[in-house]
């Protein structure tokens, strides 16, 4: 299993500012995933964070808006830059862990962001 500590759990931010979200995993993982869940929507993958290389962004998400750091195998940060009210969402980090043939997903508690 994996335990993921994500912080902050929630924040209210002014438009134009930036917020950095942190995720700490209790074991080493190759890839960490960052998701966004907008109000009333499903989870959308923002990017995959790989240790030692640049993150891979999904269509519609760019590094300038969502810079990601992955300094080691247990930690990652996602920054939401130059925020606008449209960025109000829940942001989640996730890892996939394999045990033999079993692959399971684990999630952080989420960060509920409100931009005013």
Partner 1 sequence: AQSVSQHNHHVILSEAASLELGCNYSYGGTVNLFWYVQYPGQHLQLLLKYFSGDPLVKGIKGFEAEFIKSKFSFNLRKPSVQWSDTAEYFCAVSNNAGNMLTFGGGTRLMVKP
Cα gap 106→97, rounded to integer Å: 8
Cα gap 84→3, rounded to integer Å: 31
Q: Nearest distance from residue 43's CB to partner 1, in Å?
A: 4
Among 26, 38, 104, 114, binds partner 1 (CB under 8 A): 104
Q: Nearest distance from residue 46's CB to partner 1, in Å?
A: 13
Q: One symbol per residue from 36 to 55: x for binding partner 1 (CB under 8 A), - otherwise; what is it?
A: -----xxxxx--x-------
Cα gap 114→9, rounded to integer Å: 11
Radius of gyration, alpha carbons of the chain: 14
Q: Using CB under 8 A as the criterion, which residues of the chain lie in contact with partner 1 when the complex forms? A: 31, 33, 35, 41-45, 48, 92, 94, 96-98, 101-105, 107, 109-110
């Amino acid at each position: 299993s994996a335990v993921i500590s994500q912080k902050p759990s929630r924040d209210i931010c002014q438009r134009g500012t930036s917020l950095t979200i942190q995720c700490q995993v209790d074991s080493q993982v190759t890839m960490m995933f960052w998701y966004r869940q907008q109000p009333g929507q499903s989870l959308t993958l923002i990017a995959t964070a790989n240790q030692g290389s640049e993150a891979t962004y999904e269509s519609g998400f760019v590094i300038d808006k969502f810079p990601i750091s992955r300094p080691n195998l247990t930690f990652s940060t996602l920054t939401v830059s130059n925020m606008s009210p449209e960025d109000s969402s829940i942001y989640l980090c996730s890892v996939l862990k394999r045990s033999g043939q079993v692959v399971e997903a684990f999630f952080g508690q989420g960060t509920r962001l409100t931009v005013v």
